[in-house]
Structure 1
Amino acid sequence: MPDRRFAIYLPSLLGGGAERSMLNLAVGMARQGLLVDLVLAEATGPYLPLVPPEVRLVDLRARRVLQSLPGLVRYLRQEKPLGLVSALDHANVVALWARRLARVPTRVAVCMQNTPSQDARHAPSLRGRLLPLAMRFFYPWADGIVGVSQGVVEDFIRLTGIRQKVQVIHNPVVTPELLQRAEEPLEHPWFQPKEPPVLLGVGRLTRQKNFPNLIRAFAEVRKRRPVRLLILGEGEERASLEDLVRSFGLEGEVGLPGFVQNPYPYMKRAAAFVLSSDWEGLPTVLIEALALGTPVVATDCPSGPREILQGGRWGRLVPVNNPTALAQALEATLAEGRTASPEEAYHPYTQAEVVRRYLELLEGV
């Protein structure tokens, strides 16, 4: 069916959960025999090598998302995809604007990956703080407004008053590649036999992820038992995190190796996966850990962890920014050992299920 072309539009392929999820969506669509274009404002980022040949990469060569508007208009006029999914809020605005200017019948679904009120509140720029205003103006132009969790959707409705065309579609987190890549060898010395258990955090080193909370909790646990902490990711908080580790004298017990292309062997072998965030949309890494059978402890932040863990059924939830509560939950989890989660814990986040939901939306079913 050569006329069934779909597009996914993103600023770039930087190493975040949103980019990873949209790449999984593109691959899942291509596996169903559809023509899929991954349209990037700028083709940059560590996930670029993961784009398979069956997904066509379209580079708009724009340094900023707004500057990609003319290129996206040209793309829509030339290719006229049946549907386009955009993710990340400023890209969503550009996608809707481009469809309006291109005057094509392409159906556009905008996807919100985080709770928008939190994103706006913590935005470093005026443009970010004005995002709710842009949402109220542009988002009604969409054919579908998607939140990756119920919490994201409820926050959006409270913030904007928009209820029409809003629905929850989870991110396509659990893929065959995830399970395969988790089996790759891991040479890290901390995961060798007879070494202390390793707690794992994964994410950008940003304020949102609140890794200081995790480091403080780890320092409490470390007083009572041998254990190590590994945080995979890169970001602007690196220097302050390293200072905090030194202040506890834990340089030999806490590792910050930076961004890792394949975190899944670490995740599969960790004694526990820890999410210490102050806010989220739908934390991809938490779902990945569940699918790999790793025990999880998460802050009960808005939004996603409570939804994913079904109120604590599939892992422990603790208050936000409470190192003592986090430390107690980690100790209890370490004492229990590993117990794999059943498939029902992560089925809503499987690639095939999420592709089905998006195709229904983009084809107007």
Structure 2
Amino acid sequence: MSERRIAFFLPTLAGGGAERVALNLLAGMLELDIPLDLVVADTAGPYLDQVPDRVRLVNLGTARVMKAIPSLAGYLKETQPVALLSHMNHANVAAILAKELARSKTKLVVVEHDTLSASKSKLQRSKFLPLLMKWLYPRADAIVGVSQGVASDLDSVLGFEPGTVKTVYNPVVDRQLKAKAQAPLAHPWFAPDSPPVFVAVGRLTPQKDFANLIRAFAIVRQHRPARLIILGEGETRSALEAEIATLGITEDVSLPGFDANPYAYMAHAATFVLSSRWEGLPTVLIEAMACGCAVVSTDCPSGPQEILAAGKYGLLVPIENSPALATAMLQTLETPMDRAHSIERGLYFSSERAVSEYLRLFDY
């Protein structure tokens, strides 16, 4: 092995926050001319066409992450990357086992994107994952949480010494985001003199609690004209559509599905709303701020409190509280925020900062 190659490991290229973070890190490292591999259990997902050309894509061809362990071990033996950066807990467990199976000297860093104590996954694996994490995570060269809340929660839940899990904020803002935010937006709701538009972005899952946002928006509509766009796809779509119909707000709510450029929507929105029950470090909240959009967020574990500096840069409300969320949404329409102030805060979560911190962990 002559080149100092860095590899990333993801389950798939689904359109979620962890995948977006990995792509941003890859783009940031490419600017430093680092040879890069993106290893995936399966290439499924809308982010496949966003993998940079200079990144070598390695598809292990298995639908389940745990079945990818032998193939990942074979990759580590053959390629011998200097570092492997794994994202999401089930993939992290697989990466640790693959490294041990390969007896590889590759430096392994595992990244936790969610607040473990708050996560309510219904998947069978979620019942035994914390035990595997407690046993296996100490075998990684470094454990990273994407916010201080995630890091301290992981220390606590897995019984680690405080400070075992390091915090590295996600790489969110780069030149590409700024360019995409300025892209033209043909959506008719953003025509001049139209009612203000609230925007939310995320998978349609119970974690994101878009039902709470829809109920809050129905309250907003009782006070003034407005519209709501939720970008994303997922299993709660039919339930959300039923809720919208029941509340009689079908004409004012749009669920267009996944969009590879949500930033143009953020740049034109009156307010961006995060309604989650739990998070790790919600990338979309930072992206909206970097686009100069006013933000409202639930004060969920973890991330919004840190991103918004306890309410300095945006309004925080309790989780699962539609009236409080509606009040905050109305407040942003009545009291415009300082866009430059929001953009400056978003820029703190830069790609350059994250890349340099990960390279330090790799001793690269």
| TM-score of Structure 1 vs Structure 2, range by shorter chain | over 0.9
Counterparts of 1:7-46 in structure 2 under 5 Å?
A: 7-46=7-46
Report if aligned partners of 1:2, 1:35 keep a CA contact under 8 Å in 2: no
Q: Deviations over 1:253-304 (max 9, x none)?
A: 0001111111110011000000000000000000001111100000000000
Shift of residue 126, structure 1, vs aligned partner: 3.0
CA root-mean-square deviation: 1.3
Counterparts of 1:82-231 in structure 2 under 5 Å?
A: 82-119=82-119, 122-163=120-161, 165-231=164-230
Shift of residue 67, structure 1, vs aligned partner: 1.0
Report if aligned partners of 2:204, 2:235 keep a CA contact under 8 Å in 1: yes
Alignment pair present for 1:283 and 2:263: no
The letter of the residue matching 2:228 is: L
Unaligned runs of at least 5 residues, structure 2: none
Report if aligned partners of 1:294, 1:339 keep a CA contact under 8 Å in 2: no
Q: Deviations over 1:88-147 (max 9, x none)?
A: 11000001111111112110000000001222xx12133112111011111010111000
Q: Deviations over 1:188-211 (max 9, x none)?
A: 100111110100011000000000
The letter of the residue matching 1:36 is: L
Rounded Cα–Cα distance in structure 2 between residues aligned with 1:321 and 1:125? 22
Rounded Cα–Cα distance in structure 1 between residues aligned with 2:145 and 2:8? 16
Rounded Cα–Cα distance in structure 2 between residues aligned with 1:191 and 1:41? 40
Q: 1:314 to 1:349 in 2, by over 3 A?
A: same
Greater Cα offset, 24-33 or 204-213: 24-33
Report if aligned partners of 1:87, 1:112 keep a CA contact under 8 Å in 2: yes
Rounded Cα–Cα distance in structure 2 between residues aligned with 1:348 and 1:195? 32
Report if aligned partners of 2:152, 2:165 keep a CA contact under 8 Å in 1: no
The letter of the residue matching 2:65 is: V
The letter of the residue matching 2:136 is: F
Rounded Cα–Cα distance in structure 1 between residues aligned with 2:32 and 2:90? 29
Which residue does the alignment assign to 2:78? 78
The letter of the residue matching 1:90 is: H
Rounded Cα–Cα distance in structure 1 between residues aligned with 2:256 and 2:11? 26
Rounded Cα–Cα distance in structure 2 between residues aligned with 1:316 and 1:2? 51
Report if aligned partners of 2:66, 2:94 keep a CA contact under 8 Å in 1: yes
Shift of residue 341, structure 1, vs aligned partner: 4.2
| Alignment length (residue pairs) | 362
Rounded Cα–Cα distance in structure 2 between residues aligned with 1:11 and 1:125? 15
Determine helix, strand or coil for the equivalent of 1:7.
strand
Rounded Cα–Cα distance in structure 1 between residues aligned with 2:2 and 2:180? 31
Report if aligned partners of 1:112, 1:146 keep a CA contact under 8 Å in 2: yes
Shift of residue 348, structure 1, vs aligned partner: 3.7
- Percent sequence identity over matched residues? 50
Report if aligned partners of 1:171, 1:282 keep a CA contact under 8 Å in 2: yes
Report if aligned partners of 1:291, 1:341 keep a CA contact under 8 Å in 2: no
Report if aligned partners of 1:295, 1:333 keep a CA contact under 8 Å in 2: yes
Determine helix, strand or coil for the equivalent of 1:86.
strand
Which residue does the alignment assign to 1:238? 237
Report if aligned partners of 2:202, 2:232 keep a CA contact under 8 Å in 1: yes
Rounded Cα–Cα distance in structure 2 between residues aligned with 1:12 and 1:47? 9
Rounded Cα–Cα distance in structure 1 between residues aligned with 2:96 and 2:180? 36
Rounded Cα–Cα distance in structure 2 between residues aligned with 1:136 and 1:308? 28
Shift of residue 165, structure 1, vs aligned partner: 4.1
Alignment pair present for 1:253 and 2:287: no
- Deviating beyond 4 angstroms after TM superposition, the runs of 4 or more aligned structure 1 residues are none
Report if aligned partners of 1:86, 1:92 keep a CA contact under 8 Å in 2: yes
Q: Deviations over 1:224-270 (max 9, x none)?
A: 11100010000000011001000111110000111111111001100
Determine helix, strand or coil for the equivalent of 2:223.
coil
Q: Deviations over 1:122-180 (max 9, x none)?
A: 12133112111011111010111000001101111110111364200011111111110
Report if aligned partners of 2:154, 2:165 keep a CA contact under 8 Å in 1: no
Report if aligned partners of 2:110, 2:140 keep a CA contact under 8 Å in 1: yes
Unaligned runs of at least 5 residues, structure 1: none
Report if aligned partners of 2:155, 2:164 keep a CA contact under 8 Å in 1: no
Report if aligned partners of 1:84, 1:107 keep a CA contact under 8 Å in 2: yes
Rounded Cα–Cα distance in structure 2 between residues aligned with 1:82 and 1:277? 37
The letter of the residue matching 1:58 is: V
